[in-house]
A and B are shown apart, each in its own frame.
Chain A
Amino acid sequence: AQRVTQPEKLLSVFKGAPVELKCNYSYSGSPELFWYVQYSRQRLQLLLRHISRESIKGFTADLNKGETSFHLKKPFAQEEDSAMYYCALRMYSGGGADGLTFGKGTHLIIQP
């Protein structure tokens, strides 16, 4: 069974400090992973897709198949980064409509 683990429920860092949000996955095939961000009581927004290797809002994430990880990083945290962050793994259904398995989320707080 596939699983996504985000070991930190809460992460608090100071403004300007580096941020790393951890995500580990369990999946026997070739994974497809995403990071989503949810600002207070808003809809989830796609932040990153591992296949595109892009940087959004200064965040990057690298897939490490050996360690089965997809950690989210930012070199200098900003106060507006405070939010819930979810790591998600594509569920292959074979029919095209592939749901996502989500981790439980990490609440990131950036202190001034």
Chain B
Amino acid sequence: DAGITQSPRHKVTETGTPVTLRCHQTENHRYMYWYRQDPGHGLRLIHYSYGVKDTDKGEVSDGYSVSRSKTEDFLLTLESATSSQTSVYFCAISRQGRYEQYFGPGTRLTVT
């Protein structure tokens, strides 16, 4: 599992509230990613990071922000959650010089 954990694993929140999801890895990988998984859409890249304090936007970044102050943690924040952000969120890492990614267990977020 490449030492990747996500927290919380499940969360229910109300529209308009801020939410932060955490991805933690124990193997000191430089590259980390956040995806969302929705039926009929597969997985789509939200944001990614290529090092501490170095992040960039993916294809569906609107409404999301990220931070990476330590190598091991990559945080995804929904500033003001909306029902369209109800999804399963997956964190992933890739190893230096390799392009396959390894995924965390996912966080199921429901926005009511």
Contacts and interface: CB of A to CB of B under 8 A. Distances in A.
Are chains A and B native binding partners rather than an unrelated pairing?
A: yes
Interface of A: 6, 32, 34, 42-46, 49, 86, 88, 90-91, 93, 95-105
Contact of B1 (A6, A43, A96, A104): A43
19 contacts: A34-B100, A42-B105, A44-B90, A45-B103, A46-B101, A86-B42, A86-B43, A88-B43, A90-B99, A91-B45, A96-B96, A97-B32, A97-B49, A99-B45, A99-B58, A102-B42, A102-B43, A102-B44, A104-B40
Q: How large is the interface on B (under 10, 10 to 19, 20 to 34, 35 or more residues)?
A: 20 to 34
Interface in B87-104: 90, 94, 96, 99-104
B56 A104 contact: no
B89 to A, nearest CB: 12
A65 to B, nearest CB: 18
B17 to A, nearest CB: 25
B33 A49 contact: no
A4 B44 CA distance: 12
Contacts of B30: 96-97
Q: Is the interface of B mostly helix, strand, loop or mixed?
A: strand
A95 B45 CA distance: 16
A100 B98 CA distance: 13
B50 A96 contact: yes
Contacts of B104: 43
A99 B48 contact: yes
B104 to A, nearest CB: 6
Contact of A44 (B32, B56, B103): B103
B38 to A, nearest CB: 10
Q: Most A CB atoms within 10 A — which of B43, B56, B101, B103? A: B43
B101 A100 contact: yes
Contact of A43 (B33, B58, B94, B106): B106
A105 B42 contact: yes
Nearest to A99: B45
B73 to A, nearest CB: 16
